[in-house]
Amino acid sequence: MTFQIGEKVVYPNHGIGIIENISIRNFGAQNERFYLLKLDYKSMVVMVPFSHVQDVGLRKVTRHAEIARVLTFLSEGTCSCKADWKDRFKDNCEKIKSGSLLEVAEVFKMLLILQKHKPLSFREKKMLDKARHLLITEVSIAQSVHESQAMLLLETELAKASLSFPAAI
C-alpha cells in the first residue's frame, strides 16, 4: 500500500496522522524509504519504513460503508467480555492495536456496558478514553464533519442501545 504526501492515514493504536514527507535513509549498503507521519494525538512524529507498513498496520481512513457498519454495531451489536480483567484487558489491547475501527468500536461498547455494572479500573478507563478518541477522530475524517458532529453521531447510536457517550478523561 502506498500513500502520498498530505494524505491522512490511520496508525493503529494512535489514530489519524498525515503523511508529512517521504524520505530515504541509508543503512550500510541499503537504502530504505520512509513515511514521515505526523500524528495529531499527543503531537507525535513517526517514521514508518515502506517495508514495515503492513507490519504496523498503517492504512487509509475507513470508508463510508465501514463507518455505517460501526454505527450499526454501536446501536445494535452485541459484545461479550471475559470476567477476568487481565484477560479482558489483553483482548482489548489486541483489538485496539489491530487497527480495525470495528474492533475499536467493540472495545468501546463493551467497556461502556461493563461500566454500567461496575466501576472500571484505571487502565480500563484509559482504554475507554483511547477508544473514544480513535472513534471520534476517524468518524470525523471519514464523514468529513467536525469532531463535535462525529461525537453527536456516536452518541445518537449509543443511545439506541441505552448507553451514554462518555466524557473525555
What CATH number is associated with residue 21? 2.40.10.170
How large is the average pLDDT for residues 82-99?
90
Q: How many domains does the chain have?
A: 2
- The answer for 9, left when phi > 0, alpha when psi is -120 to 50, beta otherwise, is beta
Q: Is the pLDDT of residue 42 over 90?
A: no
Contacts 24+ apart (CB under 8 A), 80-84: 80/110, 81/110, 81/113, 81/114
Binned at pLDDT 50, 70 and 90, residue 84 comes out as confident
Place of cell 451489536: 77
pLDDT tens digits for range 129-167: 999 999 999 999 999 999 999 999 999 999 999 999 999
Query: What does the alpha-carbon distance between residue 45 and residue 36 come to, in Å, rounded to a whole number?
Result: 7
Q: 68 and 151: one domain?
A: yes
Q: Is residue 33 part of a domain?
A: yes
How much is the pTM?
Answer: 0.91
What is the average pLDDT across 7-30? 91
Query: Is residue 113 assigned to a domain?
Result: yes
The answer on 142 and 75 residing in a single domain is yes
Is there a single domain that holds both residue 78 and residue 126? yes
Contacts of 149 (CB under 8 A, 6+ apart): 140, 143
Per-residue pLDDT at 40:
81
Domain that holds residue 78: 64-160
Joined together, the cell numbers standing for residue 113 give 456496558
Please tell me whether residues 80 and 128 are part of one structural domain.
Answer: yes
pLDDT at 136: 96
Task: Say what the pLDDT of residue 73 is.
Answer: 96
Residue 2 lies in a domain: no
Same domain, 77 and 140: yes
Q: Is the pLDDT of residue 27 over 80?
A: no
- What DSSP state is assigned to residue 45? E
Residue 128: name the closest of 149, 143, 114 by CA: 114
